[in-house]
Structure 1
Amino acid sequence: MSTDRKVYKRESEEARRDALIVAAMDLVAEGGPQAATVRAIAERAGVTPGLIRHYFTSKEELTRAAFRRLMEWMTRDSSAALLSGDLGPKARLAAFVSASLRPPVVDPKRLGLWAGFLNALRTDPEMRDIHEQGYRAYRDILETLIAQLPRKTDAAQSRRDAIACNGVIDGLWLEGSALPDGFAPGELESIGLAAVSAILNIDLTGA
């Protein structure tokens, strides 16, 4: 009985903390960092402002948690394609690139959220660390997929190729999220696969 109560309390607190993070993310996406005041976050999450202090030592800590969540979501949603089926190396890379260039990864709200946090990278070392961790997590997956391709290369070249491919994907993600009606269905994926194929000198378009 007592164990059940403890589990329920932990899950409830995790849910409340999560609700505050999501509320902060929504407000930053809608109106920028200035819209995510403590009062507005509490109101959006349906709690009192004082409760935020129970879960976060400051608004800055909550902001960092929201930015970390965004970075995690981006990598998670791109990687979800790798869980489906028994794919070969080329198909796995093609699936990862394609997933990175379509919803829910390509999304105006996520772009607004990312842009809202961007300025803080210049002044907050912890925000820069979160950005670097998120970037490296995504790029490490990309680099691993590239290294598994049937081609002659070495670790240093796989790293350089991953950086180049990541740059292409980032650029297409940015434009696709900023102009959601500016591209035909599947166009960003097709362009991304062609560009990555050219960088790696291996055809992914049929994978």
Structure 2
Amino acid sequence: MNPQTTSRATARLRLTALVTLPVLLFSAACGGGDDSAGGAQKNDEIASVPDVPSASRSTTGDTGPSTAPSTAAAGKSAFYDAQLKYVQCMRAKGGYKDYPDPKLSGHLDWTKIEEISSRPGQNEAAKGGKDGVCAPELQQAMLAEPKRDQQKDFESMLAHAKCMRDNGVSRFTNPTMSGGNAQPGGDPNPASPSIDHKSPTYKQAREACRTKLLDGLDGMQ
């Protein structure tokens, strides 16, 4: 288990509409102290969203597609399979028959999951089902996620944070970098939220800024 994987696993479960599931938190990856003060700084100068890197880029120059084995493709396949097992568990054991399929990239469709979670009595949809019945499958899916470019993730989340503020959510904080890992921004105090996620302003901002986040970062902040 590498620090980047566990850091993202922790971040995904602790912010915004994703309610914390304690059995999945890895304390060794929480790290975060020294850089947290920069969360509210509006360092917008580098808030451009980079292009999503291709998973099948040729390594043979202009001579045609590479015939070398693609570890990235294998990793994506394992990630998709792990996510599919989690989705199947959420449908069969978690009680969410309409739980959405993972995207082709393997990432979950957090827009639809957050919609399900917003229904009365169904907030468990964001954290592994009631009593964490699908927590083992969710943990395995997190661990199977291919390594990400943390700098690009940071720049994407920074662009999203700036967009949210520009669209009326003034308290939305910037992401930070801690130990080489991108830590999501969002509510200044996730444990006691000060941003109303159900307000029309917030919902409009989320829709306007949705495309600022790279695939896999939706739901992270």
Both proteins in one fold, TM over 0.5: no
The bucket for the TM-score relative to the shorter chain is: under 0.3
TM-score normalised by the chain length of structure 1: 0.27
Structure with the greater alpha carbon radius of gyration: 1
Higher relative contact order at CA 8 Å, sep ≥6: structure 1 or structure 2? Answer: 2
